[in-house]
């Protein structure tokens, strides 16, 4: 599909990793780029010409892009990183002579509970209550400004809740269940604007090549309309929890104050820690609760963040008709199959999946 | 503290992460105790060499291994990448030094056997940095198992790992042909050594990993200690609780990886289990009593070097290079019989969902 190869910036993240897997296993040229050598553990499973470059280092990025004609920007980080890395990445893409940059934005630019009728044409506010959303909006705008005076095409994808192997919406949910922190706000009957990771990867591959889409943004989602309860159920079932016994706090609980674990997780000091350290601390926190009986009714007060409250009460299914029309996007993995693959990965990763062995 | 007339002359090869993070503080401690003096260090990377030697201003900073041996060290610590271990160890032994080699002793069994034979031929001591055997908790667990504290063993289940964070300085760590080390050779060396030390040499029943032309980030090992099944799951990918559980007819023992002085013990027949904190035994008491809590990680690391240079130390706790050979053999067998771990989510995308 791509001729001179695709660079994946953020190749150790779960979307970047899946993109590298897909491109390489399909015989296409791919160059994983990570921030530090230790992040090559997953790309290192393949004998690939991986490179190391910081998303703020234009010179290193430009060198890393050499030999590619497209790049996918899947950089994770705090709001400063999200916004601040746009210019260096774009300048590097120009210096390397890339044809197109694909920027992984998020459906959260429209908020976690977008209003009815929201689509790609809806104006994006930067005064949202969640800093991540505003950062992504600013990053999109900065990239569009760059494009107006720059030479490299841009395409922006706005996936919703990306679930599947190594996703926080799959593995993280399993951790929440095992630690007794899982909850379905208002019963979890709100719409989950989910997209299985392979559907997103499919959209990425189309967007790298589609003609006439320069400068455009596309929402990407699964075909099915599902609720948050639908997303939780297969993971809960796999781990032996009854999803119907999960706590169902009201959305108003989000205003009662942020639980300690959440405050720690969201603190600037915690976010400054290297991601492996954060993961280790999270695992230790989970381990602390290991061995507890798996009766959801026994768990304490659930964690209800504002983000979760908004997500779980969403009433609008974001459309992906523009992606269908302009990119030829149609989901290639059903919701049921995506969940099945997610559970298979949970077993692989060492979670206590029932009846797996 | 020391019975030495003068500090041992020690040299170190390889000033990367393990040297900087672990050997440096241990050597500083032992220098303060008057047990040794770091006389020289070598690393081909000048920046790494300078950074490491900042704590040892009198140590010669040498750009070649040959120059290091010319300093006539009594003990050479090999902390370089495993692909250099054989060549450097043999050269140091032949130059008349004892050698302490960081784990894994060698990239494969053949190299390890060659190093052990070289030590015997030179009449020098070759030890290996199987650090976890120096943890008070693992020593107590080993004795409890040997004493049958949980009855006949029925199963062993180990998980260890999480997102890879070791501060490697190049892509060589992941490149086949450039000295790459997958998760089995890396943390698997520790895990298999500990199990072998506790339970004897197992049989490899099955081995699978996720390498697809490169080096594995995940692996799964099925072993048998006699009739007792054991599963070992190692990961550089996703964090799960790092825990070893050994279950017997009469209870179980649980150990969290790198806990130097704590473990869990359940005795069947009650609904209770204990969180055991390991102490030194108090000395000079009429009744058995607890002394201070047993050593933490840094002290355990220093201990493995202290016993090499302190004539009054517990030399019986030195881990001879030959003791690493069974684990090298196990790892060789695993790689020789490797299959692909099931990863059903990797299947290509299907037709569009109707």
Higher per-residue confidence, B294 vs B178: B294
Shortest CA distance to B342 belongs to which of A14, A174, A357? A357
If you average pLDDT over residues A66-80, what whole number do you get? 95
Q: Does the pLDDT value for residue B1 go beyond 50?
A: no
Higher per-residue confidence, B73 vs B311: B73
- Looking at residue A293, its pLDDT comes to 39
How far B172 CA sits from the closest chain A CA (Å)? 9
Q: In this structure, what token pair is assigned to residue A268?
A: 């600037």
**Which of the residue ranges A36-50, A278-292, B36-50, B103-117 would you say has the lowest mean pLDDT?**
A278-292
Higher per-residue confidence, B228 vs B315: B228
Q: Can you tell me which residue has the tokens 């790892």?
A: B331
If you average pLDDT over residues B140-163, what whole number do you get? 97
Shortest CA distance to A191 belongs to which of A310, A330, A321, A109? A310
What is the share, in percent, of chain B residues with pLDDT greater than 90? 88
Q: Do A26 and B348 touch (CB under 8 A)?
A: yes
pLDDT band for A258, please (50, 70, 90 cuts). Answer: low
DSSP sequence for A152-208: SEEEEEEE-EEESTT-IIIIIHHHHHHHT----GGGG-SEE-EEEHHHHHHHHHHHH
Task: Identify the structural domains of chain B with CATH numbers, from first to last.
Answer: 8-130 (3.40.50.720), 136-259+261-294 (3.30.360.10)
Residue among B157, B169, B172, B238 with most chain A CBs within 10 A, to mutate: B238
Q: Does the pLDDT value for residue A342 go beyond 80?
A: yes
Task: Identify the structural domains of chain A with CATH numbers, from first to last.
Answer: 6-160+196-223+317-333 (3.40.50.720)
Residue among A21, A45, A179, A284 with most chain B CBs within 10 A, to mutate: A45
DSSP sequence for B31-70: HHTTSEEEEEEE-S-HHHHHHHHTT-TTSEEESSHHHHHT
**Which of the residue ranges A287-291, A327-331, B190-194 would you say has the lowest mean pLDDT?**
A287-291
- Looking at residue A267, its pLDDT comes to 61
**Which residues of chain A make contact with B169, given a CB cutoff of 8 A?**
37
**Which residues of chain B make contact with A341, given a CB cutoff of 8 A?**
344-345
Q: Do B210 and A45 touch (CB under 8 A)?
A: yes
User: Coil, strand, or helix at residue A223?
Assistant: coil
Chain B residue whose CA is closest to A352: B240
What value does the mean pLDDT of chain A take?
90
What value does the mean pLDDT of chain B take?
94
Contact B350, B220 (CB under 8 A): no
Q: Does the pLDDT value for residue A261 go beyond 80?
A: no
ipTM of the complex model: 0.90
Inter-axis angle of helices A335-349 and A228-239, nearest 10: 40
- Looking at residue A296, its pLDDT comes to 46
- Looking at residue B351, its pLDDT comes to 64
If you average pLDDT over residues B275-279, what whole number do you get? 97
Q: Does the pLDDT value for residue A285 go beyond 80?
A: no
Total Cβ atoms within 10 A of residue A175:
20
pLDDT digits (tens, 9 = 90+) for A240-256: 999 999 999 999 888 65
**Closest by Cβ to B169, choosing from A37, A166, A286:** A37
Q: Do A46 and B166 touch (CB under 8 A)?
A: no
- Looking at residue B179, its pLDDT comes to 79
- Looking at residue B295, its pLDDT comes to 87
If you average pLDDT over residues A310-329, what whole number do you get? 98
Q: Does the pLDDT value for residue A284 go beyond 80?
A: no
**Which residues of chain A make contact with B164, given a CB cutoff of 8 A?**
38-39, 41, 276
Residue among B240, B259, B343, B347 with most chain A CBs within 10 A, to mutate: B240
- Looking at residue A295, its pLDDT comes to 47
Q: Do A276 and B165 touch (CB under 8 A)?
A: yes
- Looking at residue B284, its pLDDT comes to 87
**Which residues of chain A make contact with B216, given a CB cutoff of 8 A?**
45
Q: In this structure, what token pair is assigned to residue B167?
A: 């501060």
| Full-model pTM | 0.90
pLDDT digits (tens, 9 = 90+) for A157-202: 999 999 999 999 999 999 999 999 999 999 999 999 999 999 999 9
Q: Do A344 and B167 touch (CB under 8 A)?
A: no
**Which residues of chain B make contact with A223, given a CB cutoff of 8 A?**
353
**Which residues of chain B make contact with A345, given a CB cutoff of 8 A?**
343, 345
pLDDT band for A356, please (50, 70, 90 cuts). Answer: low
If you average pLDDT over residues B155-178, what whole number do you get? 90
Strand B262-267 relative to strand B273-277, pairing: antiparallel
If you average pLDDT over residues B141-156, what whole number do you get? 97
Q: Does the pLDDT value for residue A1 go beyond 70?
A: no
Chain B residue whose CA is closest to A166: B238
pLDDT band for B333, please (50, 70, 90 cuts). Answer: very high
pLDDT digits (tens, 9 = 90+) for B241-271: 999 999 999 999 999 999 999 999 999 999 9
- Looking at residue A89, its pLDDT comes to 98
pLDDT band for B22, please (50, 70, 90 cuts). Answer: very high
**Which residues of chain B make contact with A277, given a CB cutoff of 8 A?**
165
Distances (CA, A) of A70 to A90, B71, B282: 12, 54, 67
């Amino acid at each position: 599909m791509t001729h001179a190869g695709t660079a994946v910036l953020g190749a150790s993240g779960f979307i970047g990793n899946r993109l590298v897997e897909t491109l390489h296993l399909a015989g296409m040229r791919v160059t994983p780029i990570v921030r530090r050598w230790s992040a090559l553990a997953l790309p290192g499973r393949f004998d690939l010409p991986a490179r190391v470059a910081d998303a703020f280092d234009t010179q290193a990025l430009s060198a890393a892009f050499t030999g590619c004609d497209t790049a996918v920007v899947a950089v994770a980080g705090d709001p400063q990183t999200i916004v601040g890395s746009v210019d260096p990445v774009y300048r590097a893409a120009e210096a390397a002579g890339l044809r197109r940059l694909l920027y992984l934005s998020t459906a959260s630019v429209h908020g976690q509970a977008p209003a009815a009728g929201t689509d790609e044409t809806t104006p994006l506010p930067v005064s949202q209550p969640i800093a991540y959303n505003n950062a992504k909006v600013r990053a999109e705008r900065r990239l569009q400004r760059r494009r107006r005076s720059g030479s490299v095409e841009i395409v922006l994808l706005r996936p919703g809740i990306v679930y599947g192997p190594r996703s926080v919406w799959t593995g993280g949910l399993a951790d929440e269940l095992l630690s007794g922190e899982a909850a379905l706000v208002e019963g979890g009957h709100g719409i989950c604007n989910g997209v299985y990771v392979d559907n997103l990867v499919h959209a990425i591959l189309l967007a790298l090549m589609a003609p006439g889409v320069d400068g455009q943004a596309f929402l990407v989602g699964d075909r099915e309309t599902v609720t948050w309860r639908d997303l939780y159920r297969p993971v809960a079932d796999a781990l032996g929890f009854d999803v119907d016994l999960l706590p169902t706090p009201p959305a108003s609980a989000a205003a009662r104050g942020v639980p300690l674990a959440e405050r720690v997780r969201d603190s600037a000091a915690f976010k400054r820690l290297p991601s492996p350290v954060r993961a280790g601390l999270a695992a230790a926190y989970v381990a602390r609760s290991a061995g507890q009986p798996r009766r959801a009714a026994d768990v304490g007060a659930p964690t209800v963040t504002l983000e979760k409250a908004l997500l779980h009460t969403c009433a609008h299914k974001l459309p992906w008709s523009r992606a269908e029309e302009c990119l030829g996007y149609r989901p290639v993995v059903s919701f049921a199959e995506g969940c099945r693959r997610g559970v298979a990965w949970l077993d692989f990763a060492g979670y206590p999946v029932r009846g797996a062995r | 503290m020391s019975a030495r007339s003068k500090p041992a002359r020690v040299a170190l090869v390889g000033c990367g992460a393990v040297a900087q993070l672990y050997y440096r503080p241990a050597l500083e401690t032992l220098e303060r105790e008057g047990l040794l003096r770091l006389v020289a260090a070598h690393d081909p990377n000048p920046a790494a060499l300078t950074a490491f030697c900042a704590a040892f201003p009198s140590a010669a900073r040498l750009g070649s291994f040959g120059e290091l041996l010319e300093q006539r060290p009594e003990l050479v610590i090999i902390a370089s990448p495993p692909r250099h271990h054989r060549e450097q160890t043999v050269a140091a032994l032949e130059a008349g030094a004892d050698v302490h080699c960081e784990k894994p002793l060698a990239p494969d069994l053949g190299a390890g056997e060659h190093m052990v034979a070289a030590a015997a031929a030179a009449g020098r001591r070759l030890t290996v940095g199987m650090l976890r055997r120096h943890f008070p908790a693992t020593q107590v667990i080993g004795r409890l198992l040997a004493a049958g504290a949980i009855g006949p063993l029925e199963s062993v289940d180990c998980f260890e790992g999480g997102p890879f964070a070791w501060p490697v300085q190049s892509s060589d760590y992941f490149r086949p042909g450039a000295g790459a080390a997958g998760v089995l050779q890396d943390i698997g060396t520790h895990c298999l050594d500990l199990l072998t030390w506790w339970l004897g040499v197992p049989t490899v029943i099955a081995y699978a990993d996720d390498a697809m032309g490169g080096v594995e980030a995940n692996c799964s090992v099925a072993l048998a200690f006699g009739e007792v099944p054991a599963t070992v799951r190692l990961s550089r990918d996703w964090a799960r609780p790092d825990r070893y559980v050994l279950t017997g007819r009469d209870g179980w023992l649980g150990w969290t990886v790198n806990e130097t002085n704590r473990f869990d013990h359940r005795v069947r027949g009650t609904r209770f289990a204990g969180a055991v904190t390991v102490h030194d035994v108090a000395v000079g008491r009429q009744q058995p009593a607890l002394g201070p809590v047993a050593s933490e990680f840094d002290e355990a690391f220093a201990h493995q070097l202290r016993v090499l240079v302190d004539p009054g130390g517990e030399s019986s706790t030195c881990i001879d290079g030959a003791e690493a050979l069974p684990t090298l053999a196990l790892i060789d067998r695993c790689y020789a019989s490797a299959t692909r771990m099931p990863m059903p989510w990797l299947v290509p995308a299907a037709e569009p969902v109707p």
